[in-house]
Amino acid sequence: MKLATLKDSTRDGKLVVVSRDLTRCSEVGHIARTLQAALDDWEHAAPRLARVAEGVETGSEPTMRFHEHAAASPLPRAFFWSGGPGGFNDPRQPVPAIPGASDFILTSQVAVITNDLSAQSDKALAKTAILLVLLASDISLDGVAAASTFSPVAVTPDELGAGWTTGDLPLQVRRNGTILDGGDIGARDAAEIVATAARVRPLVAGSMVATGLCRTASALQTGDTVRIEMNDRSGHSIFGAIEQSLETHGK
Q: Tens digits of per-residue pLDDT, 200-211?
A: 889 999 999 988
pLDDT at 21 over 70: yes
Yes or no: domain 75-248 corresponds to CATH 3.90.850.10: yes
Q: Average model confidence (pLDDT) for the chain? A: 88
pLDDT value of residue 79: 85
Give the dihedral sign, CA 126/206/147/236.
positive
pLDDT value of residue 251: 45
**Global pTM exceeds 0.85:** yes
Instruction: Report residue 56: phi and psi, to 5°.
Output: -65, -40
pLDDT at 197 over 50: yes
Kind and range of the H or E element at 208? Answer: strand 207-220
Rounded to whole angstroms, the Cα distance separating 95 from 45 reads 34
Rounded to whole angstroms, the Cα distance separating 223 from 230 reads 23
Which of 65-69, 77-81, 213-217, 241-245 is predicted least confidently? 213-217
Kind and range of the H or E element at 52? Answer: helix 42-58
Rounded to whole angstroms, the Cα distance separating 3 from 239 reads 9
Domains of the chain, residue spans: 2-68, 75-248
